[in-house]
Structure 1
């Protein structure tokens, strides 16, 4: 079911409370507010000092791609042949950056045939594969490097990224072979520390000095945080300003063009996940109709979403003293548990609805349907509150 399709007489609802009152859904519902996504896109387009690309992996729904393209996003970070073809169909004039740095030879051939012009790499073996198959004319190859910096929910450098020294060698080889030499990094998901970008940008300038190469572009990655925790709204403006000033200070007259690839920071806050309370076991643990095998897959890795609403079946807020609760998902697996405890109203009842705000990233795309659960409706709303 697409994001603008739904059950009942309406295709666009006023808010989640109306959905609850009218439909009384028994299965989880992911609701999408296109206006929030458009506003976030404009925040990036106006604030980031360079090209904004969207990391498709975070949520590849067609409605998102179309909304972003219409809002003015002109590039997409793709990580597979499927994503390459998806953007080719939905945003045919947009740039596609194939920045998954490890690819099968067949995947490289697919990207070349599709006209992909921007690639990343973090090893000699993968660079040789690109040299063998990617034409050098008007094609960019960006060595991806990593640093031991903190500030993110988890470290992407544990899987991808070359040392600065290796990145310099790769950059020199890229330039010598006639490709457009650029650099890229990723500070890690949900990175709330602007200084992480400054450290990477300073190191990027050092890599260029070691290589004796002027980078055409510097992709500062994703990592831009979404609003996961009620008391901490992300300060994107400060991050944008620091990226700009750090690039100017590090590179001076050799300043490269900047690129970013937000995923979570772009799409997460445009969605809310409606779940229903299946049971309150002996007045203590809460069981939901969704969990870590469904739309809440990544919570054990990066922590709970605490921007929550509890509504009665009539769609009214459940008032009650906040009480720490253990929260389980619906499957017969003991791992299907949200981390720690969540403060929920003391009078929460079976049949109530628990709404997770900011649930649009790495949720629907990782829904496993394990144990026969995971069926999820997708509806559009005019407001998420």
Structure 2
């Protein structure tokens, strides 16, 4: 598969603006740049001091998986049998990490049949379910800490307290699996010290359990460029590497990460269209909303990388005005957080382009009221692309 990045892609357009001017779509369109996606993958591979495993949940489209495979990624974090099959359809030899720590017996059986090589647990009852998993597999004990720095915390749902993680790690080693530790600092985490705190605690847990772990999964949570300056991924990578070396000394495990949002966000731009504008000039209706490709904005807030173009492809350049934005459905909850800044000369029929929208857009889009994101168009470049992703 590698070396054939265009297998799942149609003939690309030059850029979103060219497509919109020519085709005048009245539905939301997601534009993909394979060059940006593969560039981001290479950045992680060269910058992160360990194995890079893509979190498929962020965007499981065949175009995404094929381009990551072509860029050399060989490991994928899967959370369900459907994601396992999606990866296997692209690369039958890919390494699968099943890091969703809560599974049904049927899901575990499927994982065994498909050949999952790494499993995660965060509770004794879940560890017992893995009895039929081959002892040649890795079992990662996932733990959680009350660490700030992310847009929202994953620790409320997953992760054992450190004391319980010590006990679980001992049981994993005693049962004969390859013991490992893992955590997730939370989504859109821009503070390197969150990783430092977790890595330091991981060393303590391993020491208290008297178990030498083969790998430490430092999770995802790497921030995408949503507004202002691009996040300092290089600084985060360096903090992870230096902290692991200091905390584990001569027993440092191999490091693993599982980026989702930061891997795919930059490679996509979402184009929506203004359906209507009220006379107040501050309220607009788009052909997409929180039941479609903009669902993530409800929880993570408005992005700063938004622009408007007229139907003939010309950028709107008026001063920015905070808008109240509704989606196209008949549900009054279909509304973005207030204050989306758009040019004052934005008008009905214009296209509103949201950059860095590859994660949790099409993956979470519904078909409610007949709306939602369904189209992905391949382009050679993205005008709003952050060069930090190269």
TM over 0.5: yes
TM-score, normalised via structure 2 length: 0.95
Aligned residue in 2 for 1:174: 172
Task: Choose the corresponding residue for 2:234, options 229, 233, 237.
Answer: 237
Aligned residue in 2 for 1:8: none
Aligned residue in 2 for 1:189: 187
Give, in angstroms, the shift of residue 232 of structure 1.
2.6
> Is the counterpart of residue 63 in structure 1 residue 70 in structure 2?
no
Q: 1:95-125 deviations in whole A, cap 9, x for unaligned?
A: 1001100000000000011111210000000
Equivalent residue of 1:277, what SS?
A: strand
Aligned residue in 1 for 2:243: 246
Aligned residue in 1 for 2:303: 305
Aligned residue in 2 for 1:129: 129
Aligned residue in 2 for 1:276: 273
Aligned residue in 1 for 2:386: none
Aligned residue in 2 for 1:98: 98
Which structure 1 segments of 5+ residues have no match? Answer: 6-10
TM-score, normalised via structure 1 length: 0.96
Aligned residue in 1 for 2:142: 144
Aligned residue in 2 for 1:27: 27
Give, in angstroms, the shift of residue 3 of structure 1.
7.0
Aligned residue in 2 for 1:345: 343
Give, in angstroms, the shift of residue 209 of structure 1.
1.0
After TM superposition, the structure 1 stretch with the greater mean CA deviation from structure 2, 335-344 or 185-194, is 335-344
Equivalent residue of 2:52, what SS?
A: strand
Give, in angstroms, the shift of residue 240 of structure 1.
0.4
Task: Choose the corresponding residue for 2:201, options 169, 183, 203.
Answer: 203
Aligned residue in 1 for 2:331: 333
Q: 1:262-318 deviations in whole A, cap 9, x for unaligned?
A: 000100110000000001111220110000000011111011122011000001101
C-alpha distance in structure 2 between counterparts of 1:146 and 1:71, whole Å: 32
Equivalent residue of 2:295, what SS?
A: coil
Matches within 5 A, 1:79-90: 79-90=79-90
Equivalent residue of 2:106, what SS?
A: helix
Give, in angstroms, the shift of residue 375 of structure 1.
4.9
After TM superposition, the structure 1 stretch with the greater mean CA deviation from structure 2, 73-82 or 340-349, is 340-349
**Cα separation, partners in 2 of 1:139 and 1:262, compared to 1, 3 Å:** same
Alignment length (residue pairs): 376
**Cα separation, partners in 2 of 1:76 and 1:168, compared to 1, 3 Å:** same
C-alpha distance in structure 1 between counterparts of 2:109 and 2:268, whole Å: 35
Name the Cα RMSD after superposition: 1.1
C-alpha distance in structure 2 between counterparts of 1:324 and 1:108, whole Å: 49
Aligned residue in 1 for 2:77: 77
C-alpha distance in structure 2 between counterparts of 1:362 and 1:318, whole Å: 27
Which structure 2 segments of 5+ residues have no match? Answer: 1-6, 384-390
Task: Choose the corresponding residue for 1:264, options 261, 264, 278.
Answer: 261
Q: 1:221·1:260 contact (CA, 8 Å) conserved in 2? A: yes
C-alpha distance in structure 2 between counterparts of 1:207 and 1:92, whole Å: 35
C-alpha distance in structure 2 between counterparts of 1:79 and 1:247, whole Å: 26
Q: 1:3·1:32 contact (CA, 8 Å) conserved in 2? A: no
**Cα separation, partners in 2 of 1:3 and 1:370, compared to 1, 3 Å:** farther
